[in-house]
Every structure is written in C-alpha cells, then in structure tokens.
Amino acid sequence: MPLPFIFSTGIEEGLSKQASFSGGSEIDHLSDYALYVRGISKTFSNGVVANNDVTFGIIKGEVHALLGENGAGKTTLMKILSGCLKPDRGEIYVNGVKTRISDPRKAVQLGIGMVHQHFTLIPTFTVAENIALVSSSSRKLELKAVEDKVRHVSKSLNFEINPNTRIEELPVGARQKVEILRLLCQDVSILILDEPTSVLTPLEVEDFFRIIRQLKNDGKSVIIITHKVKEALSISDRITIMRGGKTILTIPSSQTNASELASYVVEGFIPNLKRVPTARGEPTLSVKGLFIKGDRGEMAVKGLDLSVHSGEIVGLAGVTGNGQKELVEALTGLRKVEGGSISLKTCDLANKPPNFVINSGISYIPEDRMRRGVILGMTISENLALKRIDKEPYSKKMLIDKEALDKSAKELISIFGIKASDPCATAGSLSGGNIQKLIVARELTNAPNIVIAEQPTAGLDVKASEAVHQKLLDLKSKGAAILLISADLDEIMKLSDRVLIVFGGKIVGEFSSDSLDMEKLSKLMLGSE
C-alpha cells in the first residue's frame, strides 16, 4: 500500500491525524512502520513539559532525521523510545504491535537501540569490555567471543578497530563508531542516534554517513538527531521537526531545502550575522616554541608558535589528536608546559594555575562540556557565577549574595535564551544544547581579553549557534583576541580572520580568510603537504 509521504500532526497545518489510523486499515498501515508512537507526553518532576502529545513514526528501512530547537524535547522522546524514560501517557507500536518499553533491555529485545547525546562508553574499559557489557548473556565473561564479533561486525562496516584498545585512548570519531558497533553487536534493527555528528570533523562525518547508508542498505531503520540542516538533507529520507515538545511537521527530504528547514526549526529564522569591520590590534596572546607532553608521556606539542592579536579571530583547524587538546590545556593552566613560552601581552602565562589564567581575563569554552564546563549538581545561577563567585557583585565581604546571583542569572538566561524553568534548577536538568548555552553565557560576558573557544556551538540549534557567532564577532570588534578550535570547518571559515592548520603538534600552514584554498587546507590537515 502506498505510504502517505507527508503526515503532519495537526498544530501547524490544521490537519488532524491521518484518517487511516482510525478504522480497519489501521493495522495495515501501522505495520509499515518499524516504530510508531502517538499521544506521548512526559512531564519531568520539576514541572517541565518535555513532550506534549507527540505523534511520530519511522518507516521500515528509512533514515529519518529529527530536528528541533534546543530543549524541544528530542532527547526526551528518544529516551522514551529506548526505555530510558517512562512516558506519562501514550502508545508505542513496534512493527505494528502495541508494546510497553519498560527499560533499555526491553527496548533492545524489541530491536531498538540508542546512541546517546553524551557518550555512554566507560572510558577505562576496552572496546570489547564496553560491548560485552550489553551483549554478553553468559555468566562467564566470554571476551574472546566478543572480540571476534567486534572484528566481524567492524569489518563488515569497513571500519578497523582493535577491540583491546581502551576507550580513553580513542579520538571522538572512533568512539562514536564504537557506540554504533555496540548497537549492532546487539542485533538491533532500529538505531536511534542522538546528535552523533556534533563534534566530528567533516571527513569523519562523511565516513560516519557511509556507515549509516550501509546500515540502511542492510534494512535497518535509523533515527538521527542533528542541528545541521545540511546533514539532515544529505543523509535522511524524511525529516521531522519538533518544537515545544511536539512534532509539528514531517516532510520528505527531497521536497525541502536548507533555508526552509531552518525556518521550520526556529520559527521564521533568517540568517543575519552582523560584521563590524575591525582593525587588527597588537598581539595579545603569543605562544613561542611550545612543547607539551601528552597523557602517555609522549611529546604532543612540538615547538608550536602562534599569536592572536586583539580584534582578531584565529581559527585552528586540524584532525583531532594533533596536539590541540594539549595546547588548549596548557593555555588554560590545566597542563604543564615543558618548554617555550605563553604570554598575554607582557605577562607570562606558562605553568600558571587556572585561577591566575582566569583572573587575567582568559575565557574558556571547553569541548568536554559535561566534565569541564559545568557542575551538573549545582544550580544554574551558581554555575553561571562560578568563575567570579568571590568578586563583586556575587560576593560581598566573603559572603555570597544569593540575590545578586539570581538576578544576574536571570539576565544571562534571557540574553542567551537558555531554556530553563528557574535559575535555581540544577544544570543537570537542562537539555544538552542549553548546557552549552550556559557555558557560553558565563564565558563570553565580563569582557574577556582572550577567548579560547573549543567547539563553541556543538549541539546548538541554528539560532543559538548564530547568537554565539554574533557574540564572538562583537567581542572581537571590542578588541578581544579569539582562538577558535572547531571540528566544523564551515564555522572556522565563517568566523576566522586567519586559519592556522595544526598537524603533529606544530602549525604547518596559515591562510588568511580571503585566500583560503580548501584543497590545500585538507591536505595540510592530513599532513600530506
């Protein structure tokens, strides 16, 4: 039977649910869906309505992209489908059969598996151990059998991995693939991927999509959440948009385009980045002949030179694992410098403690936001004030002024559009993108001298990304020196005045924004020039 290509769930178009869902043809119709839900609602204990009467379906063998603003309820819906959260109301049909998904184990039995927005791999375990955690049913740990399975499945995906590597030694791109590998070792047929690409470089994304296409050819159904409309268009068959806890529209990818999608995601969104021409000033951050050791004692940064002037954004492009992490940690006082110098104007910063770095006016947006950016158990207003908690207006005579904290938190929440029920809610209750907004809000206020921004828009929706970009440009025009490290080359090219390419712990090339040669840049990034 022909499938309706567009089903809309009311709200926007005024169409009510498909007529075919009542009456005799219902069973027929539902069985075309690998997964179909309706009327799903979820209210969290703090009163936030994350899902409100959601209807959503995924056809067997399709790749379905789910888009929506930060806090729209995408993750919540997917957690319900994978058994990690219980819905308050609603019906779930798997292959046309009504079911209850009581826990993640049940979901896997039904063939549904999920890759979460934040990694769910145990960093100190090996690849095989992480996979055995879910796939081994015997009492005795049959690691050998798991290793064989890992080799087998990874080979079929054209993706080489040593099952005995510990996760913490792998770059993020490989970790993401291990997550998928784990689902496939559990023989699931419906894969839910929550923002799997947000920190991957374009090459890694391409490789990742190759795997997804292959899964589709093998008959699997895939739901993928992303904030990048271009990615959604290139990988998916159909796209569903969520807004305010509801699905508002489902549309075939072939019948829409990037700007239309962006305006569905954020009602009426039109890109509008304002650039003020800024003269480049004096060098603010200078790094000379820097040597830094990596985690395993090897030299990760080998004589790196770099300078960022005031009124300038310098983009650092490179494949992860070429010393970026160590460089940033040294700049922020988190890692020891073995040789060379780091200076802010004339002040020496090498091997100074983090609070010295912070007090010199250096802001830092970390890549690992969950561990470096926020304290999940503390409130939003505390997290926002944390770096300046001992200063006016947050503290007076060593006492914290709770009112000042909440007042400034309220301001920042509205300026940066953080979707929060209340400044006293814990940071852990925010959606992934809103945690990122919180960090950005803290780091980009108070007129920093230098901003070190690592993946500043990872996980942000189009509107929030643009707000961050605008804020970075504004800071630049006010004379800040900005070092931008991002896996997203588009972002680097959009914002940077100069692009530096890092490879093997050194800067191997430099472009100014008006003379960018993409081909040469990619080659430099791979070290083949």
Ligand X SMILES: Nc1ncnc2c1ncn2[C@@H]1O[C@H](COP(=O)(O)OP(=O)(O)OP(=O)(O)O)[C@@H](O)[C@H]1O
Q: Does 68 help bind ligand X (rule: CB under 6 A)?
A: yes
Query: Which residues lie below 8 Å from residue 113, measured CB to CB, with a gap of 6+?
Result: 82, 107, 182, 183, 186, 188, 190, 191, 192
Question: Could you tell which of another protein, ligand X, Mg ion, none binds residue 16, using a CB distance below 5 to 8 A set by kind?
Answer: none
Q: Does 455 help bind ligand X (rule: CB under 6 A)?
A: no
Q: Looking at 165-173, 259-267, 296-304, 426-434, which segment touches ligand X (CB under 6 A)?
A: 426-434
Q: Looking at 141-149, 260-268, 368-376, 432-440, which segment touches Mg ion (CB under 5 A)?
A: 432-440
Q: Which two tokens stand for residue 115?
A: 């890759």
In the complex with another protein, the residue whose CB is nearer, 120 or 214, is 120
In the complex with another protein, the residue whose CB is nearer, 60 or 106, is 106
Q: Does 243 help bind ligand X (rule: CB under 6 A)?
A: no
* Candidate list 44, 119, 125, 269; residue touching ligand X; CB under 6 A: 44
In the complex with ligand X, the residue whose CB is nearer, 216 or 469, is 469
Q: Which amino acid is at 343?
A: S
By the 8 A CB rule, do 330 and 291 touch? no
Selection from 37, 29, 61 nearest residue 191 by Cα: 61
**Interface pattern 123-162 for another protein (x via CB under 8 A):** xxx---x--xxx-xxxxxx---------------------
Q: Does 431 help bind ligand X (rule: CB under 6 A)?
A: yes
Query: Which residues lie below 8 Å from residue 269, measured CB to CB, with a gap of 6+?
Result: 262, 263, 462, 463
How many C-beta neighbours within 10 Å does residue 13 have? 11
End-to-end CA separation in angstroms for the chain: 55
How far apart are CB 136 and another protein at their closest, in Å? 5
Number of chain positions touching ligand X (CB under 6 A) = 20
- Strands 395-396 and 399-400, by their bridges, are antiparallel
Q: Looking at 116-124, 262-270, 396-404, 519-527, which segment touches Mg ion (CB under 5 A)?
A: 116-124
By the 8 A CB rule, do 494 and 469 touch? yes
Q: Does 99 help bind another protein (rule: CB under 8 A)?
A: no
**Interface pattern 70-89 for Mg ion (x via CB under 5 A):** -----x--------------
Instruction: Provide the H-helix boundaries in 196-336.
Output: 202-217, 229-235, 258-265, 324-331
In the complex with ligand X, the residue whose CB is nearer, 76 or 154, is 76
Number of chain positions touching another protein (CB under 8 A) = 28
As a whole number of angstroms, the distance between CA 471 and CA 324 comes to: 23
Q: Which residues are registered as beta bridge partners of 35?
A: 58, 94
As a whole number of angstroms, the distance between CA 237 and CA 61 comes to: 10
In the complex with Mg ion, the residue whose CB is nearer, 77 or 350, is 77
Q: Does 83 help bind another protein (rule: CB under 8 A)?
A: yes
Q: Give the distance, in angstroms, between the CA of residue 56 and the centroid of all CA atoms in the same chain.
A: 23
Question: Could you tell which of another protein, Mg ion, ligand X, none binds residue 201, using a CB distance below 5 to 8 A set by kind?
Answer: none
By the 8 A CB rule, do 424 and 164 touch? no
How far apart are CB 92 and another protein at their closest, in Å? 17
In the complex with Mg ion, the residue whose CB is nearer, 287 or 435, is 435
Q: Which amino acid is at 490?
A: D
Subset of 35-54 contacting another protein (CB under 8 A): 44-45
In the complex with another protein, the residue whose CB is nearer, 114 or 251, is 114
Subset of 69-88 contacting ligand X (CB under 6 A): 70-76
Q: Does 105 help bind another protein (rule: CB under 8 A)?
A: yes
Tell me, letter by letter, the H, E, C secondary structure of 81-98: HCCCCCCCEEEEEECCEE
As a whole number of angstroms, the distance between CA 275 and CA 116 comes to: 36
Question: Could you tell which of ligand X, Mg ion, another protein, none binds residue 471, using a CB distance below 5 to 8 A set by kind?
Answer: none
In the complex with another protein, the residue whose CB is nearer, 76 or 250, is 76
Q: Looking at 43-51, 298-306, 369-377, 442-450, which segment touches ligand X (CB under 6 A)?
A: 43-51
How far apart are CB 46 and ligand X at their closest, in Å? 5
Q: Looking at 16-24, 118-126, 346-354, 504-512, which segment touches another protein (CB under 8 A)?
A: 118-126
CA distances (Å), origin 3, targets 57, 59, 140, 252: 12, 9, 47, 12
By the 8 A CB rule, do 232 and 261 touch? yes
By the 8 A CB rule, do 312 and 324 touch? no
Contact residues toward Mg ion (CB under 5 A) are 75, 117, 432
Contact residues toward another protein (CB under 8 A) are 44-45, 83-85, 103-105, 107-108, 114, 116, 120-125, 129, 132-134, 136-141
